[in-house]
Amino acid sequence: MTNTDDPYLWLEGVTDTDALAWVRERNAETTAALTDGARFAAIEREIREVLDADDRIPYPRRRGEYLYNFWQDAENPRGVWRRTTPESFRTDSPEWEVLLDVDALGAAEGENWVWKGASVLRPDYHLALVELSRGGADATVVREFDLRTREFVTDGFVLPEAKTRIGWIDADHVYVGTDFGEGSLTTSGYARVMKRWRRGTPVEEAEVVFEGKPEDVSAFAYRDHTPGFVRDFVGRSPDFFTSEEFLLKPNGDLVRIEVPDDASTSVHREWLLIHPRTAWTVGDTTYPAGSLLATDFDAFLAGGREIAVVFEPDAHTSLQGWSWTRNHLILTELRDVKTRLEVLTPGEWTRAELPGAPEVGSAHIIDTDPDADDEYFLDSSGYLQPTTLIHGTVGGTAEVVKQAPALFDTDGLTVEQHFATSDDGTKVPYFVVSDGTPGPTLLYGYGGFEVSLTPGYNAAMGRAWLARGGTYVVANIRGGGEYGPDWHRAALRENRMRAYEDFASVARDLVARGVTPPGRLAMQGGSNGGLLAGVMLTRYPELFGAVVCQVPLLDMSRYHVLLAGASWMAEWGDPDDPADWSYLREYSPYHLVQSGREYPPVLFVTSTRDDRVHPGHARKMAARMREQGHAPMYYENIEGGHGAAADNAQRAFMSALAWEFLLRSLS
């Protein structure tokens, strides 16, 4: 149901004059209403101090002999890309070599550049493909950068703004998928055609190595540079959760990796790892959804099916990810949403615990160098435990190399985990961070795309909310990945209401337990969580005293025709299919909101430069509510992309708006 009778379609014109005039009027109203007091200024200052703090951990990425880091602070609002040696990094004051100053570059070129990352060529690490975005959008400009001269390469690999996929083959070739013209993109706006591009030649003349289908989410091509195991892969992603991947042989032949379409794979040296999202039967053996399997890559492609189970989920435990070192495999697991780390040795697949995970918190491997050695960097934190960065070697020693400071007072605060009972009897876990006094409470959730919400230190939240007497709650509802693929699939498509029922059950449980009085419970969500916020606003308004709805999807009749929306139909469904629309309309917030019904105060937040979730969702919802006589607040940052902010000043302002809104609404 692509609704073309919508009276607010004009607000989908992202940069149209009338639409932006409407945005500026709403921004002025919200700014005037929320920023006029001393508390707002204090919150904004406190958050900015957190974001700009010099003693934050500079998270490293190992690339050859250097550790690389991207850093933003008050002096470098758009940031610097820099590097140091491992020895210097371990000191209290590392000596950083600045490679690229994004603020200086933007000033010199008259552009509002935002850093989007860099791909460095292995194994020499002398060249990089730098991606820069105008205002924080997903679409980027690509430029080749020489790490020896610290300058962009004259006549190097350069591409104009697009949602580009690019990666090194060797010093003179890259794989690239971008907007080559008509027919080169999928309906989701991503690369459909992948090419092998040779230095010094026009990209239009590059050799096509693979083509996906127009209705796919995207196509891909990449090289595995592992010495002694160099391989090329191509493939397509028909939807958000499936893929077909092929080994691209030197003669151009394609060899399919014969795994289920919904299984993810990765290759390390001689090993192929397979992570099926649904149960997979091979011969007489059925491997459960969410397991991790290992087999010899070459033997598997030749038809062999000797498969080892290296992880098997249970009712309480799921696999969150894995990382290779040179000789070992590190697994990150969740047991009732608490992290456990294991290290396995290939072949016999012996296993041991990897220390470093907090008792109630989360930990994850942020970097390894699987070409070189068995070292790793491990990041761990909890709701009340500042982040710790550990450097270790599998089978050797581990040491704390960086410790973030405590940035808010935790005296009297505790963390508890409870389980609410959803409408169908499912037990839904949630964490409560509180001083034990019933009072204003913020409930946060996401519940989609198999994304897990795990405990972590949030200094801005601690300063703005906990320090002012608030209670913070995180709900691990279905649709997420906290209990593996089955937890996600339980709220997929026609079962989506289960996620919303889960969240509502947590809200009720908080009141029943006395965590918060009725009317002093707020909720917050962004992106897919913004849809969650819209559903809570329109279907469960009696449960909440305030709602913060950030970069949301709200018009579920048109989400698939706006920007990247078509790529998410595997999650929610196709509005143009009557069977799908029959359940989508049951929770589409834009179609449920009505005059004559009471709704809690709501703040909509989005970004003009969000080219992933269209700002029209939030614009139209606010406009419709205003027409119906409601009084929503609305703020749209002109920059920022899907994160809604492009630098720390914008992040602090946007965050302070939300906290001030919540404090006023629940006072």
The DSSP call for residue 478 is: B
Greatest C-alpha distance within the chain: 70
Burial of residue 9 (CB within 10 Å: 0-12, 13-18, 19+) is middle
Q: Pick from 516, 502, 508, 517: which is nearest to 433 by CA?
A: 516
Angle at 70 between CA 64 and CA 72, to 5 degrees: 160
How far is 639 from 643, CA to CA, in rounded Å? 9
Known catalytic residue at 642: yes
| Cis ω for the linkage preceding 123 (within 30 of 0) | yes
How far is 221 from 167, CA to CA, in rounded Å? 8
Written as one string, the DSSP assignment of 377-415 is EEEEE-SSS--EEEEEETTS-EEEEEEPPP-S--TT-EE
Using only C-alpha atoms, what is the Rg of the chain?
Answer: 25
Reading the block at residue 247, the tokens are 């080994």
Exactly one of 527, 588, 607, 665 is catalytic; which is it?
A: 527
> Residue 16: how many CB atoms within 10 A of its CB?
12
355 within 8 A of 389, measured Cβ to Cβ:
no
417 within 8 A of 430, measured Cβ to Cβ:
yes
The three-state secondary structure class of 507 is helix
The three-state secondary structure class of 549 is strand
How far is 650 from 667, CA to CA, in rounded Å? 26
Written as one string, the DSSP assignment of 576-627 is TSHHHHHHHTTT-HHHH--TTS----EEEEEETT-SSS-THHHHHHHHHHHH
Nearby residues of 236 by Cβ (< 8 Å), 6 or more positions away: 210, 212, 213, 216, 218, 219, 220, 243, 244
Burial of residue 503 (CB within 10 Å: 0-12, 13-18, 19+) is buried
Exactly one of 268, 642, 655, 665 is catalytic; which is it?
A: 642
How far is 342 from 334, CA to CA, in rounded Å? 11
Phi, psi dihedrals of residue 332, rounded to the nearest 5°? -110, 120
Reading the block at residue 11, the tokens are 């607000």
181 within 8 A of 135, measured Cβ to Cβ:
no
Nearby residues of 44 by Cβ (< 8 Å), 6 or more positions away: 652, 653, 655, 656
233 within 8 A of 297, measured Cβ to Cβ:
no
How far is 361 from 59, CA to CA, in rounded Å? 19
Reading the block at residue 650, the tokens are 């914008």
Catalytic residues: 527, 642
